[in-house]
Amino acid sequence: MHHRKPEWLKVRYQSTDDVMQVHQLLEKLSLHTVCQEASCPNIMECFGSKTATFMILGRICTRNCTFCNVEQNTPIPLDPHEPNNVAQAVGQLALKHVVITSVTRDDLDDGGSSHFAQVIVAITQQNPEVVVEVLIPDFSGDPDALNRVITAQPAILNHNLETVPRLYSAVRPMAVYERSLTLLGNAKKNAPNLLTKSGIMLGLGETPAEVQSVLTDLRAVDCDLLTIGQYLAPSNRHHPVAAYIAPPVFREYGELARELGFKHVASSPLVRSSYHAEQVSELLTTRTQTKEDY
């Protein structure tokens, strides 16, 4: 069934000089952003503010999630210059908060975790004041891969559950809900001062009770930060939108999440994992003061 997009989801696209500068810089350094690859509706706002979520490990994913617009095919070899190039871009854009995400690379022995660590280290060495947030895949549940990323000392570690368990077979057929929860729990156990984060999409066919259950599960593994946004199908070939959720419902879920104990919640139709990620910077004071405890 086709659902007509409501007014609150319609975004006006307009290019600016800042947007063009970001595009040119990314092309010059052979970098990818999830903003482009995933057709994010906020791309013009973020590029216009000289911010971007860098997507490392190439632009081809080994998973077959039905909600995602990232290309699924045979991946290419890793770019050894990527860590330094990302660090250069962060410096040239004068970012204060940078988000690093990736495709899933099940073809790599370590899931790309060593490369993730190299990117984090390169950024912090060249831009010591920047806050580094990583949005990582599940690394097939490999605890060594997770610890490799944690050891590089990102400020925030994000891993999205994306949807409720019942819909995983249709939306994330190669992922496991419990495995993703365990990853978030292990991250907090191994680095108690690390801020952990997750996100879900609404409009895939979930029920309110299922959403509440997911939020409770996340708090049970001491997840600190949460994003909730509306799912938008990239094309007719992707998982269909089951419903467009009205803004008041997002506010209700946001209030519930805060009552459950999340330290920061972003819940509205256009919210995405890294949208306005820099707003959590005030939560990082404790982490900065106790960085040696990692």
pLDDT in tens, 13-59: 555 566 666 667 777 776 765 544 444 554 555 544 545 678 899 88
Residue 195 located in a structural domain: yes
Neighbouring C-beta atoms of residue 68, cutoff 10 Å: 22
Nearest Cα to Cα of residue 231 among 221, 222, 242, 220: 242
Q: Is the pLDDT of residue 149 over 50?
A: yes
| Tokens encoding 173 | 């057929």
Report in angstroms the alpha-carbon separations of 93 from 20, 29, 81, 156, 172.
13, 13, 18, 20, 34
* Residue 8 domain-assigned (yes or no): no
What is the pLDDT, as a whole number, of residue 66? 67
Residue 69 is predicted with a pLDDT of: 66
Domain membership of residue 2 (yes or no) is: no
Res 76: pLDDT: 86
135 DSSP assignment: E
**Using 50, 70 and 90 to split pLDDT, how confident is the model at 183?**
very high
Question: Within 13 Å of residue 115, how many CA atoms lie on the same side as its CB?
Answer: 26
Residue with the bigger pLDDT between 274 and 228: it is 228
Mean pLDDT of 236-251: 91
Q: How far apart are alpha carbons 191 and 71 in whole angstroms? A: 33
The pTM (predicted TM-score) of the whole model is: 0.85
The three-state secondary structure class of 229 is strand
Share of residues in the chain with pLDDT > 70 (%): 76
Mean pLDDT of the chain: 84
Q: How confident is the model at residue 80 (pLDDT cuts 50, 70, 90)?
A: very high
Gap between the Cα atoms of 279 and 291, Å rounded: 20
- CATH number (domain holding residue 247): 3.20.20.70
Please state the rounded mean pLDDT for residues 2-18: 60
pLDDT in the model for residue 3: 62
In a domain, 27, yes or no: yes
- The pLDDT score that the predictor gives to residue 126 is 95
pLDDT at 209: 98
Domain count, the chain: 1
Cα gap 28→89, rounded to integer Å: 10
Structural domain includes residue 157:
yes
Residue in 219, 258, 34 with CA at minimum distance from that of residue 134: 34
17 burial level (CB within 10 Å; 0-12, 13-18, 19+): exposed
pLDDT at 290: 42
* pLDDT confidence band for 288 (50 / 70 / 90): very low
User: What average pLDDT score do residues 260-282 get?
Assistant: 80
Q: In the structure, what pLDDT confidence band is assigned to residue 278 with cuts at 50, 70 and 90?
A: low
Q: Would the pLDDT of 101 be above 50?
A: yes
Q: Is 195 helix (H, G, I), strand (E, B) or coil?
A: strand
Q: Note down the domain range covering 173.
A: 13-293
| Whole-number Å distance between alpha carbons of 134 and 110 | 16
Place of tokens 């190039």: 85
Distance set, CA 282 to CA 65, 149, 155, 277 (Å) = 34, 23, 12, 11
Query: What's the CA gap between 152 and 119, in Å, rounded?
Result: 9
**Statement: residue 275 has pLDDT above 70:** no
Q: Please tell me the predicted confidence (pLDDT) of residue 19.
A: 60
**Distance separating alpha carbons of residues 276 and 294, to the nearest angstrom:** 26
Is the residue at 68 inside a domain?
A: yes
How many Cβ atoms are within 10 Å of 249's Cβ, its own excluded?
16
In a domain, 74, yes or no: yes
